[in-house]
Amino acid sequence: MYGLIGYPLGHSFSAQYFTEKFLREGLDECYKLFPIKDINSLSELVDGNKTLNGLNVTIPYKQAVIPFLDKISGDASEIGAVNVIRISRSKSAAKTHLSGYNTDWKGFIESLEPMLHPHVKKALILGSGGASKAVVYGLKKRGIKPLIVSRSKNSGDMTYDDIDKTIMSEHLLIVNTTPLGMFPETEAYPDIPYNFLTPDHICYDLIYNPEQTEFMRKSAAMGAEVKNGLEMLHIQAELSWKIWNAHSE
């Protein structure tokens, strides 16, 4: 058994994706949603489900889960966020070993790559949570300079009030890593000056439910190229599957 932890999980397509994968490939596996209200209940969840071999991690636990892990990968450590947990058990299932990984950054970069042009040198990253950290890590590896926008300057490089025409014109990639606009609150959107967007801009939303967010709609209305996070979900899900089924750490 595999699953997803986070709260709430009404927006997630992960269970649907893996269920269809298992049916398509003839695998006798299952994937469940575990909407836990408190990360402290992780140990109880793992101990209470002896056939649970792996978990994905989503909002709001990508950073909070780290102290509960026995080991984390180098990139997850550098990012400071985990979205995949591999659960190894002793033969008696009395002892468990939790290893944390991050596949978000690879999923994001692989999904973004076909849209990138040589003139994209800088990016505005909306949000400063666990998903934001993975995006920043991936962009730096790709040679694109990220600027983090948050509600507070304590969390990011700048606030939304600081974004002006010059900032928008210099940052041709804008990535929404916040949950603003995610189902069921689909009318919400990040407060940026959309009127400064141009056809040279790429606006990428990590949200995939709904298929087109208000952020994407408002950006597309200004001619910007837009994309949601569904392909990123699929790529990181396949990377998760490889981690869960690897023969060794």
Prior bond to 60 cis, omega within 30? yes
Beta bridge partners of 225: 202
**Sign of CA pseudo-dihedral 231, 187, 166, 149:** negative
How far apart, in Å, do the first and last CA atoms of the chain sit? Answer: 19
CB 86 within 8 A of CB 99: yes
Strands 71-72 and 96-101, by their bridges, are parallel
Q: What tokens does 154 get?
A: 């304590």
Q: Exactly one of 32, 37, 62, 145 is catalytic; which is it? A: 62
User: What CA–CA distance (Å, rounded) separates 88 from 91?
Assistant: 10
Residues contacting 79, CB < 8 A, separation 6+: 102, 105, 133, 134, 136, 137
For the question of residue 91 being annotated catalytic, the response is no
User: What CA–CA distance (Å, rounded) separates 226 from 181?
Assistant: 15
CB 198 within 8 A of CB 223: yes
Q: Which residues are catalytic?
A: 62
